Each structure stands twice: as structure tokens, then as C-alpha cells.
Amino acid sequence: MAFFKRILVQPYMRALDKHPIITKMFTVSTLMATGDVIAQKVEERKQAKEGQLYTYDPKRTMRFAAVGFFYSGPALHAWFKVLERFFPGSSPSTLVKKIVVDQFI
């Protein structure tokens, strides 16, 4: 676990401290692209069972990555800043409030 923390977590946390928006843009972009690849693999398997051919669409994955990078990453950064302004801190009750507001707005 110490290796994982030293190699991945600490550099990521330093990047968040130094360049929060760009780090979040890359993070969201990577997560959205990865999610799309997984979704396409699921669709491929589903269609293969039905005897249909499915071709992976890399342009679709790139579109997801672009939306994550240029829209979702910056928007989520701003949104969590707003939540922090209204609910400062990280106590358990504050975290619950942030989660509730985030999920219902």
C-alpha cells in the first residue's frame, strides 16, 4: 500500500495542490474515456450474443474525453468550490450535507 501511495497518490495530490483545475480536467477526461471504453465492451458482448457485429468507436471515446476535459472537469471544479463555500469543512455532518445537496441539485 505504501508503494501505491508513494507512486500514485502523493504525486496526484501534489498536482491537485499546484494545478487543481488542469489536474481535475485530466482526471475527469480519463474517467469518462475509460467509462466509455467499458460501456462499448459491454455493448460489444451484448451484440455478440445476439449474433450482431459491433465495432469499437474510438471517435466516440475521444468525444467523451473532450467533454470531460473541456466541460465536466472545469464545471465540477467550480461546483465543488460552491459547495465548499456554503458548507465549509470536512466533518461527517458537513460531508453528508454536501452529498445531499450535490445529489439533489
Q: What is the pLDDT of residues 2-37, one digit of tens each?
A: 888 888 899 999 999 999 999 999 999 999 999 999
Per-residue pLDDT of 64-101, as tens digits, reads: 999 999 999 999 999 999 999 999 999 999 999 999 99
Q: Are 32 and 72 in contact (CB under 8 A)?
A: yes
What ranges in the chain are assigned the alpha helix state H?
2-4, 10-18, 20-49, 58-67, 73-86, 92-104
CA-CA distance, 79 to 60, in Å (whole number)?
26
pTM of the model: 0.84
Q: How many Cβ atoms are within 10 Å of 79's Cβ, its own excluded? A: 14
- So what's the pLDDT on residue 2? 84
- So what's the pLDDT on residue 77? 96
Q: Are 69 and 25 in contact (CB under 8 A)?
A: yes
